[in-house]
Amino acid sequence: MALFGSRKPAGGPPPASTLSIIASGMVVTGDVRCDGVLRVDGTLEGKVLGARQLVVTPGGRIRGEVVAEEIVVGGVIDGNVRASSRLELQGSAVVNGNIETRAFVVPEGGRVNGDIRMVSGSMERPGEYLAP
């Protein structure tokens, strides 16, 4: 028995509420794979794969492919975007790439420079639509 309660076994999956932040002024080079929430206030030069939720704030920028369950963009994404559940662009958002999603929300001011494909079936495997 642990002093302050039971310990979680090492190597288990992270909790669903896990939050990772790429802070303003920070530049990360390389692919990011996560199961929880990823917030990008700085710059990521690489892919985002498997996030439950991705938030790109108005000062944030991603240069690479993005694959997540739910995506909210206020900044810039230079690359193809695949949201298996929902994609929301804010008025300050710019996406330079193709989009594939089930639900799409974009207010006045949000911009997309690419094709948008709305899908209704399973998105478990990436389609050829987003291939470069």
Each domain of the chain, given as residue ranges in start order, spans: 19-119
State the sign of the Cα–Cα–Cα–Cα dihedral 23, 28, 34, 38.
positive
pLDDT at res. 132: 47
Segment 42-63, tens digit of pLDDT = 999 999 999 999 999 999 999 9
Q: Which residues contact 127 (CB under 8 A, 6 or more apart)?
A: 100, 119
> For the residues 114-123, what does the mean pLDDT come to?
87
> For the residues 106-116, what does the mean pLDDT come to?
97
Model pTM score: 0.81
Cα atoms in the 13 Å half-sphere on the side-chain side of 122:
2
